[in-house]
Chains A and B, each alone.
Chain A
Amino acid sequence: MLKSLKTAAVLGAFAAAGLAQVASASATLESVKEKGYLSCGVSTGLPGFSNPDDKGQWSGLDVDVCRAVAAATLKDASKVKFVPLTAKERFTALQSGEIDVLSRNTTWTLTRDASLGLNFTGVSYYDGQGFMVKKDLGVKSAKELDGASICIQSGTTSELNLADYFRANNMEYQPVVFDTSDGTAKGFDAGRCDVLTSDQSQLYALRVRLSKPDSAVVLPEVISKEPLGPVVRQGDDQWFNIVKWSLAAMINGEELGLNSDNIKAQKASSDPNIRRLLGIDGPKGKGLALDDDWSLRIIEQVGNYEEIFNRNVGAESPLQIDRGLNALWNDGGILYAPPFR
């Protein structure tokens, strides 16, 4: 017994040493430049966010965020090594230094930000739980769902959110529970329920699988907050800033009307906002320890936020997700990035 206690103590000491190492992260920018590629943690397959295509190339919104960081730091958006991670592995991979950025549909919460030795660099996608209903029901708002039968995946936070929402609004509902998200879609398709609930980004993916995708609509209400964004290790503020501002460059790019097609021509623009974003005037790249063209390269090689949204999850993709909350702040959404100044 004593022996096994000793072993446990030794193992514990090892673990503590490992975690201490995490806290004193070395300069990530230097190591990325030295390696010549950015190591980016993505999911093992999530429609529209990170998935391998027919050719084995990774594509998706989360993937493009990593490409942007590579364009800023390594001058080449293709110099990314994608490390597919499961939900359980993702934080360890970041803590242990196996990856430099985690861009894997990760919800920003207090616990994760404060206790895991991680920093969330911003929000790349505002997700939240929503409802999909059959079009012929004529429902326009979630408030009209009193008495509905609702297909839902068991054991998810969606189940709890749903109960909260209906109790708060004094409404009744009939849960129809399935084990997998695929199962909920099949049940909805077969008419076992009037409504299907899940995270909105998932709803659109499930809608594509229906036998008649046009027969269902996703309601505008969102009943939970799921801000998703790229994550870095704590303790390296320079790297934290680089990832944060790479995302901001794409969002500001959309706000200023810069995209991968017109950016060459816009270099000659006299608009001071554009000139600052492109690193011609203003703060340039010095504070981030990058060259002055870093933000220009992001928009040139990867695109602005609108482009990556439409390409991966929006109008140009099979998912057809509305901009909704992810529209710019001056366009009805809440997407907002601090100014380049």
Chain B
Amino acid sequence: MMNHELKMIPAREPPVMAVGVLAWIRNNLFASTLSIVATLLIVYGLFLSIPPLVQWALVDATWFGADSNACNREGACWAFVTARLDQFIYGFYPAEHQWRPNLFFAQLAVLVLWLSLKWTPGKQWVLGYSLLLMPFVSWFLLYGDLPGLEKVETHQWGGLMLTLLLALCGMIASLPFGVLLALGRRSNMPVIRSLCTAYIELWRGVPLITVLFMASVMLPLFVPEEVVFDKLLRALIGIILFQSAYMAEVVRGGLQAIPKGQFEAFNSLGLSYWQGMIMIILPQAMRLVIPGVVNTFIALFKDTSLVLVIGLFDLLAIIQAGLNDPAWLGNSVEGYLFAGFVFWIFCYGMSKYSQRLEQQLHQGR
């Protein structure tokens, strides 16, 4: 007698066309006639554009050189960027003092890492330092005029350093002002409410470029000749006033999403207005508005390049100034590509950080 054993037939591999890379390609790229045509057209477009781009940007490119004549005219002249990289980062900051901006960058990097990594202790203290002390520490570090630190006037600041500084100060200062304005606009007190509303509507109704012109062209005419307001400071104040109005509306959106019951709850617990706001309402509201806040921050970061209309040399302006150096005429494409690349890195970084923050805060929801 044969001994029949019951055996499972091993599962067969799925058809080649149903899983893996091939299936993905079939489902996503060649699912219908329309998508086949679109795919082929796009591939053809890439085929036309990518090889010449690589040829221009990498193969034929010149990476180092003393002036435009050193560059191969067929390829990209990255020598323009490498020769002036120091200037693009520090502006006209004196070379022997460049450790100060470096320290500023390092501080920034440490703070950002500290706040974004999961296992680092004492986050609230670090956050407090970043929001309250860091702007002043950075200012004294960069401006100097202290014993042991030589004064470096702000007209020598420039490049990436200035861009970061303007954006950071704008972000850090506009957030608290924005929260206060948002609370003010929702206040029951008519005077405060109308003042805050008027402020927000006034500043939101004016383009940033007008604010900067006002700060740099009109303001000096109103003050006596002996008083020379620092131009950077004027621009910074303009940016902060402008940005607070936008921030206020973002925060107000979050406040409106909090159910009325929460307000009644803290009132019935006997908490004061500020206690309730700080401990109950704002933590919930701020969590809701992270995407909006980051959106505003990214817009601000890019808006800082508007300061070039008032003669401050931010990253974009200093690249443009470099393009006018007779030794480097004709490198505008390389210059602007570099500027775009740097801006993209920072904006993408901010957007990634905000996504992480959202995920962390929304755990358990």
Which residues of A come within 8 Å of B, CB atoms? 14-15, 17-19, 21-22, 25-26, 44-48, 51-54, 56, 81-86, 88-89, 92-93, 95-98, 182, 205, 208-209, 211, 313, 317-319
User: In the complex, what distance in Å separates the CA atom of A85 from the CA atom of B213?
Assistant: 12
User: In the complex, what distance in Å separates the CA atom of A15 from the CA atom of B155?
Assistant: 26
Residues of B within 8 Å of A15, CB to CB, are 221-222
Residues of B within 8 Å of A88, CB to CB, are 213, 217, 309
- Taking a contact as CB atoms closer than 8 A, the residue among A19, A44, A48 that contacts B221 in the complex is A19
User: In the complex, what distance in Å separates the CA atom of A86 from the CA atom of B320?
Assistant: 13
Residues of B within 8 Å of A56, CB to CB, are 87, 91-92
The 7 A-B residue pairs with the shortest CB-CB distance, nearest first, are: A45-B324, A96-B220, A45-B321, A209-B330, A18-B221, A97-B225, A56-B92
How close is A292's CB to chain B, nearest CB, in angstroms? 31
Q: A54-B87, A56-B92, A84-B311 are in contact. Are A47 and B325 (CB under 8 A)?
A: yes
User: In the complex, what distance in Å separates the CA atom of A83 from the CA atom of B310?
Assistant: 11
Q: Which residue of chain B has its CB nearest to the CB of A48?
A: B326
Q: Does B174 interact with chain A (Cβ within 8 Å)?
A: no
Q: Give the one of A26, A44, A182, A317 with max B CB within 10 A.
A: A44
- B224 and A52 form a contact (CB under 8 A): no
User: In the complex, what distance in Å separates the CA atom of A98 from the CA atom of B219?
Assistant: 12
In the assembled complex, 25 residue pairs joining A and B whose CB atoms fall closer than 8 Å, in A order, are A18-B222, A18-B223, A21-B225, A44-B308, A44-B311, A45-B323, A45-B325, A47-B324, A51-B324, A52-B87, A84-B313, A85-B311, A86-B309, A86-B310, A88-B213, A88-B309, A89-B216, A89-B217, A93-B220, A97-B220, A98-B228, A208-B329, A209-B329, A318-B327, A319-B326
Q: Secondary structure at chain B's binding surface: helix, strand, loop or mixed? A: helix
Q: Does B322 interact with chain A (Cβ within 8 Å)?
A: yes
- A interface footprint on B57-94 (CB within 8 Å = 1, 0 otherwise): 00000000001100001000000000110010001100
Chain B interface size, under 10 / 10 to 19 / 20 to 34 / 35 or more: 35 or more
How many residue pairs link A and B with beta carbons under 8 A? The number is 107
Q: A45-B321, A45-B324, A89-B216 are in contact. Are A83 and B222 (CB under 8 A)?
A: no
How close is B266's CB to chain A, nearest CB, in angstroms? 39
Q: A47-B325, A54-B83, A319-B326 are in contact. Are A92 and B311 (CB under 8 A)?
A: no
- A83 and B311 form a contact (CB under 8 A): yes
Q: Which residue of chain A has its CB nearest to the CB of B324?
A: A45
User: In the complex, what distance in Å separates the CA atom of A81 from the CA atom of B156?
Assistant: 10
- B225 and A89 form a contact (CB under 8 A): no
- B320 and A44 form a contact (CB under 8 A): yes
Which residues of chain B from 304 to 320 have a CB within 8 Å of any chain A CB? Answer: 308-311, 313, 317-318, 320
User: In the complex, what distance in Å separates the CA atom of A83 from the CA atom of B83?
Assistant: 24
How close is A321's CB to chain B, nearest CB, in angstroms? 10
Residues of A within 8 Å of B309, CB to CB, are 86, 88
- A interface footprint on B182-216 (CB within 8 Å = 1, 0 otherwise): 00000000000000000000000000000001001
Q: Does B138 interact with chain A (Cβ within 8 Å)?
A: no
- A89 and B310 form a contact (CB under 8 A): yes
Residues of A within 8 Å of B320, CB to CB, are 44-45
Q: Which residue of chain A has its CB nearest to the CB of B224?
A: A21
Q: Which residue of chain A has its CB nearest to the CB of B328?
A: A54
User: In the complex, what distance in Å separates the CA atom of A22 from the CA atom of B225?
Assistant: 8
Which residues of chain B from 223 to 261 have a CB within 8 Å of any chain A CB? Answer: 223-226, 228, 231
User: In the complex, what distance in Å separates the CA atom of A300 from the CA atom of B67?
Assistant: 29
User: In the complex, what distance in Å separates the CA atom of A86 from the CA atom of B67?
Assistant: 26
Q: Which residue of chain B has its CB nearest to the CB of A86?
A: B311
Q: Does B332 interact with chain A (Cβ within 8 Å)?
A: yes
User: In the complex, what distance in Å separates the CA atom of A226 from the CA atom of B127?
Assistant: 57
How close is B83's CB to chain A, nearest CB, in angstroms? 6
User: In the complex, what distance in Å separates the CA atom of A317 from the CA atom of B325?
Assistant: 11
- A53 and B327 form a contact (CB under 8 A): yes
